[in-house]
Structures are given as C-alpha cells and as structure tokens.
Structure 1
C-alpha cells in the first residue's frame, strides 16, 4: 500500500463535513494537510488538530487557486495530493432558478475543480507522480427532478476529471473520482442528523475512508470509479 507519511495533501472545502473528515483522516495517516475553505475561523480550529496549513480562499478565483499551490510549495516544498471536495448545491424547478444561482454552483463545483487542477497539474507532471481525487456525486451518473443545475454541474465535473485522467496518466499522475450518495452533512444548508432520513445516510467518515482507499492503492492499480451507496454504506 502507498505510504501517506509526509505526503502533502491539499483538501478543499475542508472547514467542515466531508472535507474536514478527509483532512483529519489524512493527517492521522501522516500526511501534511493544507486545508482550504472560505471560513478562516473553522480552518484554524482544524489545523490545530492536523498541524498543517490553513488557507482561507475561494476555489473559484484563479488568483486564489494559484496562491494555494504557490503557498503550499513555499511551506512544504512539494505537492503530492489534491482532493477537490468543495461543493455547493441547490434544488428547484428549472424555471425557478436564477442565472446567478447557476453561476454560483458551477463556479464552485466545476470552475473550482478546473482552477485547482490547472494550477497543480504542471507540478505533478514535472515530478512524475501525484494523485488528484475529485469528490463528485452519484448524480454524476443519474438525473432527478429538481436536480437540473446541481446535476449538470456534477456531470461536468465528472467529465473534466475523466478527461484529465487520460491526459496525465502517461506522466505517472493518477486521477480518481468518488461518487457518494446522500451524506449526513451540512450540504444545502442542512445540519447533520436533523431528520430521521438523514440518520440513514452515509457519514463524512465513509467518504474519507474511500479517499484513503484510492490514495493507498498500489501504483499498478487503477481505480477509475468508486461509488458509495447511501443505504448499504458499501463501495
């Protein structure tokens, strides 16, 4: 299994929920975690636990994305892992969406993934190794009522990561995509455990374990897709 000790991992959307669970687990496995989110206060609390680096930033801003990579290299001198976890969602009938809401969802879910990958990929290709993990959604593979905008963003993110996988594989860089079902977290302004239904959902720690699984897979193993099922909690 691949050893994560002293590997440098950037995790976006790390202040709470899935991102926080991923950051904590990678730190427990010995990685140096660069936690990225827009909320500085929650990031500071996290980095006290991980002894890593906190960078308050907007992943949809190109200057911020470039700063995240530059600051990581300045602090640790290397880059190994990028976990594109930051995501937002809203659900409604198509005709009830405002164009601004479309922009917000695509900015975080798609543009954010694009900008971080764009800033990081040249370094990974030059060093001949590295791993990008995208936290997509099971709606990357299906459609549902009220999911027009969010689903479209996740289909786009999935296509971006799938194409990137083929581009960087010859350079020794891996790209993995994880497709969680319903997760008991803060997504879409909900609170963990706030309803009986949410108590049957996946936990953020389940997704974190999936990330650990793909990161620790031997170099000769390619895991193209990892789907987490919300009811059975198996993958």
Structure 2
C-alpha cells in the first residue's frame, strides 16, 4: 500500500461535510493537509486539528486557485495529492432555474475543478507522480427530475476528469473519480445528523475512507472510478 506519511494533499471544500472528513482522515494518516474553502473561520478550526495549512479561497477564481498551489509549494516544497471536493447544488424544474443559479453551480462544480487541476497538473507532470481525486456524484451516471442543472454539472465534471486521466497516465499521474450517493451533510442547505437519514444516507466518513482507499492503492494499481451506494454502503 502507498504510504501517505508526509505527502502533501490539497483538499477543496474542506470547511465542513465530506471535505472536512477527508482532511481529518488524511492528516490522521500522516499527510500534510492544505485545507481550502471560502470560510476562513471554519478553516482555522479545522487546521487546529490537522496542523497543516489553511487557505481561504474561491476555487472558481483563477487567481485564487493558482495562489493555493503557490502557497502550498512555498510552505512545503512539494505537492502530491489534489482532492477536488468543493461542490454546490440546487434542485428545481428547468423553467424555474435562474441563469445566475446555473452559473453558480457550474462555476464551483466544473470551473473550480478545472482551475484547481490546471494549477497542479504542471507540477505533477514534472515530477512524474501524484494523484488527483475528484468527488463527483452518482448523478454523474444517471438523470433525475429536478436535476437538470446539478446533474449537468456533474456529468461535465466527470467527463473532464475522465479525459484528464488519459492525458496524465503517460506521466505516471493517477486521476480517480468517486461517485457518492446521498450523503448526510450540509449539502443543498440540509442539516446533518437526522436519525431518519442514518439508514438511507452515507456519512462523510464513508467518502473519506473511499478517498483513502484509492490514494493508498499500490503504485501499480489504478482505481479510475469508485461508486459508493448509500443503501449498502459498499465500495
């Protein structure tokens, strides 16, 4: 298994939910975690536990995304892992979706993934190793009513990561995509911890363990895609 000790990992959307669980678990495994989100206060609380680096940033802003990578390299001198977890969503009939809402969802889910990958790829290619993990969704593989915008953004993110996987494979850089089902988090303005959701929703820690699984796979093992079903919690 690959040892995560002292590997430098950027985790976006790290202030709460899935991203927070990923950051905490990677730190527990010995990684140096760079936590990224827009909430500076929540990041500082997380960083007190991970003892890494907290960078408030908007991943949909090109300057912010590049600054995250620059600060990471300045602090640690290396970069091994990028976890693209930042995501937003809303669910509505197509005719009720405002153009601004479309832009917001695509900015974070698609453009944010694009900009963070664009900023790290030159470094990973140069060192001929590294790992990018995208947190997509099971709706990257299916459609559903009220999901026209969110589903479209996740299909786009999935296609981008799939193409990037082929671009980076000759350089020894892995790209893995994880497709969670419903997760008990703050996503879509929900409030986690409801007892009725325990049997139907995954926990953020389940997704964090999936990320750990793909990152710790031996160098010769490539886990391109990993679907996690909320009812069986199998992966």
Measured against the shorter chain, the TM-score band is over 0.9
Q: Which residue of 2 is the match for residue 120 of structure 1?
A: 120
Q: Which residue of 1 is the match for residue 47 of structure 2?
A: 47
Deviation at 1:65, TM superposition (A): 0.3
Deviation at 1:198, TM superposition (A): 5.5
| Superposition pairs of residues 28-67 of structure 1, within 5 angstroms | 28-67=28-67
**Contiguous gaps of at least 5 residues in structure 2:** none
TM-score normalised by L of structure 2: 0.99
For 2:86 and 2:126, locate their aligned partners in 1 and report how far apart those are by CA, in whole Å: 26
Q: Is the 8 A contact 1:84 1:135 kept in 2?
A: yes
Q: Is the 8 A contact 2:184 2:197 kept in 1?
A: no
For 1:141 and 1:188, locate their aligned partners in 2 and report how far apart those are by CA, in whole Å: 20
For 2:86 and 2:197, locate their aligned partners in 1 and report how far apart those are by CA, in whole Å: 24
SS of residue in 1 equivalent to 2:36: strand
**Contiguous gaps of at least 5 residues in structure 1:** none
Corresponding pairs, count = 235
SS of residue in 2 equivalent to 1:196: helix
For 2:155 and 2:198, locate their aligned partners in 1 and report how far apart those are by CA, in whole Å: 24
Is residue 2:87 matched to residue 1:91? no
SS of residue in 2 equivalent to 1:177: strand
CA RMSD of aligned residues (A): 0.8
Q: Is the 8 A contact 1:193 1:199 kept in 2?
A: no
For 2:45 and 2:199, locate their aligned partners in 1 and report how far apart those are by CA, in whole Å: 26
| Superposition pairs of residues 1-40 of structure 1, within 5 angstroms | 1-40=1-40
| Superposition pairs of residues 134-145 of structure 1, within 5 angstroms | 134-145=134-145
TM-score normalised by L of structure 1: 0.99
For 1:4 and 1:51, locate their aligned partners in 2 and report how far apart those are by CA, in whole Å: 15
Q: Is the 8 A contact 1:13 1:19 kept in 2?
A: yes
Q: Is the 8 A contact 2:199 2:231 kept in 1?
A: no
Deviation at 1:9, TM superposition (A): 0.1
